[in-house]
Structure 1
Amino acid sequence: MSSFDDAFKALIGSEGGYSFNPADPGGETMWGVTAYVARASGYAGPMRELPLETAKQIARTKYWDPLNLDEFDSRVAFQIFDANYNGGLVVLWMQKASGAEPDGKFGPGTVAAVKSADPLKFIMRFAAYRVRYLKGLHTWPNFSRGWMDRMAKNLLVGAA
């Protein structure tokens, strides 16, 4: 991975198209963007018709840029981006995986710690915290197979 474009392409391979699963607390989604996020980002059309380019713009402004992902090793950036897009305690996982103070507040200390961490060690630790989190969700019985497949794909991207 060398850029946001590459990361988004890999992420969309896990997200797919339209979904409205009653077991998913995110509700109606297209390209992994929930209706709530789409509406908050200015999209007013039917979710089934959310353009991929709109999803990409939302991904960049909501899930990539706020965590300064352009500053990190591209493999690390992808892992963080995918987790942020999918949901969870991403900043806390970043801090724990990098050895930063785990206070859940994103700032220069977190950025510096992630940048100085060994990328492969960071990825393994980050993935472990993410899996633990996912395993604790009440939706685990419904979505665990898909989440674990996604995590396996992500680890293979991180090892590339």
Structure 2
Amino acid sequence: MSRNNFEACLAHVLKWEGGYVDHPKDPGGATNHGITRKTLSAFLGRAVTKAEVKALTKNQAGQIYRLRYWNKVKGDELPQGLDVVALDGAVNSGPSRGAKWLQTALGVTVDGVIGRGTLGAAINVIDRVEVIQRACAARMGFLHKLRTWSTFGRGWARRVADTEAEAVAMATQSPERVKVEADKAQKARATQAKGARAAPVGGGGALLVDLPQWVLWSVIGVLTVCTLILALNAAQHARRADAYRKKLEEMTNG
């Protein structure tokens, strides 16, 4: 149980949700400390201006996060590590999505509402690290499909990697386990990168040359997609390894 972990989880969220932003490609519009104009309006029960969003304090943002996100994902009842995974996903993509990624990782009914079944599975899980990593992988799968990935994807990917490392550190309280996961992520990066380099995109020798042209182009298309997937996976594993190493340094140095 993590009734006293809200402030630590909030600190992680606020590290990624900076000050006032009004990016033209962000569907949320004007945002401050991660709180959109729509969310602030709902919290206050009236329409708000961009100026009011800009004037929002961290303390006010924290109140909103507790009421509309932390409480929605049952943060006080989730074990440490799983709470920050659910909260950060909820803040980034909505409480329902944050709940669904956790439910997917736990292997329970995916309905976007954390109830007794989800909480029971979360509390009784044997290895929280595996659940954290599966939830973060599910989140990445969703984000990759968004139309705004080309604009915000790199930042999202770094955030998910950092959330994974933070969650593992919270769950295990073990620098040794964090180091193990850093090493695993680095090995996974090397494996995926090697696969991307080895994929015979645009070539393949006599066997490919002898194929009918339409089949050849289909094969090349498939190989290109596979190579791209391997390269994207390698890049994300590199981000994960870096996030784990930074968390390890923080835990050991203080």
TM-score, length-scaled by structure 2: 0.60
Deviations 1:34-68 (A, max 9, x none): 00000110174621110111100000000001221
Q: Which has the higher helix share?
A: 2
Q: 2:158 aligns with which of 146, 149, 156?
A: 149
Residues 1:104 and 1:59: Cα distance change in structure 2 (over 3 Å):
closer
Give the equivalent residue in structure 2 for 1:39.
Answer: 41
1:90 shift after superposition: 2.1
Q: 2:17 aligns with which of 15, 18, 39?
A: 15
Matched, 1:129 2:131: no
- For residues 110 and 157 of structure 2, the distance between their equivalents in structure 1, rounded to whole angstroms, comes to 25
1:9 shift after superposition: 0.8
Give the equivalent residue in structure 2 for 1:63.
Answer: 69
| Secondary structure at 2:81 match in 1 | helix
- For residues 152 and 92 of structure 1, the distance between their equivalents in structure 2, rounded to whole angstroms, comes to 18
Equivalent pair of 2:33/2:61 in contact (CA under 8 Å): yes
Give the equivalent residue in structure 2 for 1:119.
Answer: 128
Matched, 1:95 2:95: no
Give the equivalent residue in structure 2 for 1:138.
Answer: 147
Q: 1:4 aligns with which of 3, 6, 11?
A: 6
Runs (5+) with no aligned partner, structure 2:
170-254
Give the equivalent residue in structure 2 for 1:82.
Answer: 88
Residues 1:122 and 1:31: Cα distance change in structure 2 (over 3 Å):
same
Runs (5+) with no aligned partner, structure 1:
none
User: Which sits farther off after the overlay, 14-23 or 86-95?
Assistant: 86-95
Letter in 1 for 2:132: I
1:113 shift after superposition: 1.5
Displacement over 3 Å in runs of 4+:
103-106
- For residues 65 and 105 of structure 1, the distance between their equivalents in structure 2, rounded to whole angstroms, comes to 11
1:150 shift after superposition: 0.6
1:91 shift after superposition: 2.2
Letter in 2 for 1:22: P
1:103 shift after superposition: 3.5
1:22 shift after superposition: 0.5
1:95 shift after superposition: 1.5
Deviations 1:104-136 (A, max 9, x none): 443211111122222101100100100000001
Q: 2:54 aligns with which of 27, 31, 48?
A: 48
Question: Greater RCO between the two (CA within 8 Å, min separation 6)?
Answer: 1
1:102 shift after superposition: 2.5
| Secondary structure at 2:72 match in 1 | helix
Rg comparison, structure with higher value: 2
1:101 shift after superposition: 2.0
Deviations 1:12-47 (A, max 9, x none): 001111000000001100000000000110174621
Equivalent pair of 2:18/2:33 in contact (CA under 8 Å): yes
**Aligned pairs, how many?**
160
TM-score, length-scaled by structure 1: 0.93
User: Which sits farther off after the overlay, 124-133 or 96-105?
Assistant: 96-105
